[in-house]
Amino acid sequence: MQILCVDVGTGTQDILLFDSDREIENCVQLILPSPTQIIAGRIRRATAAGCAVLLTGKIMGGGPCAWAAEEHLKRGYRVFATADAARTFDDELDKVERMGVRIVSEDEARRLTDVERIVMRDFDLSAIAGAVAPFGVDLDLSAIAVAVFDHGNAPPGVSDRIFRFEYIAETVTRNDLTAFAYRREDIPERLTRLLAAASDAPPDVPTLVMDTGPAAVLGALEDAAVRGHGSLLVANVGNFHTLAFHLDEGRVLGLFEHHTGVLSREKLERYLQQLANGSISNAEVFADMGHGALVVGKAKRQPDFIAVTGPRRALLDGSPLGPYLAVPHGDMMLAGCFGLLRAVARKMPEFASAIESRLGTTG
């Protein structure tokens, strides 16, 4: 049985082809440039060639591809985009038009000539299949699981940061990190990026989508050295976002989410210490350009362990907090994929026994 897990970040997309007939160490693993980095490269090549760009497809991760589009426009070259693709830059299309992007209908897009046509998507199954095929790997998928970061479709005039953190605060009250994962048919309408990623999976293959931060934290708990602690902090320091949880015997007592680029080592240490003692302030984190912070319950004891995962975990190098660098199943970069697998086992119980036969049970 095969389950394809794809954790889509800002810098990389991390891929695990879980095969229940193989030890987890022998499953196919890939660390590839993220979709937004790939699109950004294509836009930059169009800029170098002096060619207009047409963006079609769906909403996907922004950041690098948005910056490349802005630079393309600054150089005096045109950017056309269909509405769904344009929402990658902002859900409010009038803001995208003020960037200089011209929004076109699907019919207008088909008629455009002399443009570099670029399809926007977070999940590209055909590209993954094509990458592994030369190595004799055929995809015969029982399920697909994809993680992306989703601000959600905030109403006009509502901060994306506030809208996302309200969703996090609402979801975390269930005290189950897999609450951030959804079968394709259960995805809330507000989570437009999760919906778009799921729509690119074949309709006949069961598909699950999940937010990246909780997926990575859930995956970090696969490290036995992390799972063995009752009261702890787990932080995912991603390329773009940092999300940290205070967990006590599996219960969520608090969390905060911030933009990694705004954090110094000292600032991150301070927020982690405040998370540990329950003094962290939502107002302070938001004013510091973060998403927010939440204290759900009071700890009976201070956390005695800090686990860190994510590609920017070196931000805590030399920290007196003494963080442990989590390596679930021996591979930090696949933490999100292991979290996805656990979410599949929870949300799709028909696959639970096969997954647990390789990952073990969670007790």
Cα dihedral 124/125/131/135 (nearest 10): 170
Q: Which residue, among 121, 59, 148, 188, has the nearest Cα to 340 in the 3D structure?
A: 148
In this prediction, residue 302 carries a pLDDT of 85
DSSP letters, 169-207, are HHHHTT--GGGGEEEGGG--TT-HHHHHHHHTS-TTS-E
3-state helix, strand, coil in the chain (%, to 5): 40, 25, 35
35-120 carries CATH number 3.40.50: yes
- Distances in Å between the Cα of 241 and the Cα atoms of 129, 150, 358 are 29, 11, 30
Residue segments in the chain with a per-residue pLDDT below the cut of 70: 363
In the chain the beta strands, taken as DSSP E runs, fall at 2-8, 12-19, 28-33, 52-57, 79-82, 102-104, 115-120, 141-148, 181-183, 207-211, 231-237, 241-248, 251-259, 292-295, 306-309, 324-325
Q: So where are the chain's domains?
A: 2-33+125-157+176-216+335-359, 35-120, 224-326
Given this structure, which CATH class describes domain 224-326?
alpha beta
User: 2-33+125-157+176-216+335-359: which CATH number, 1.10.4160, 3.30.420, 3.40.50, 3.30.700?
Assistant: 3.30.420
Provide the token pair at 183. 């079968």
pLDDT for 363 equals 53
| Fold match between domain 2-33+125-157+176-216+335-359 and domain 224-326 | yes
Predicted pLDDT of residue 297: 82
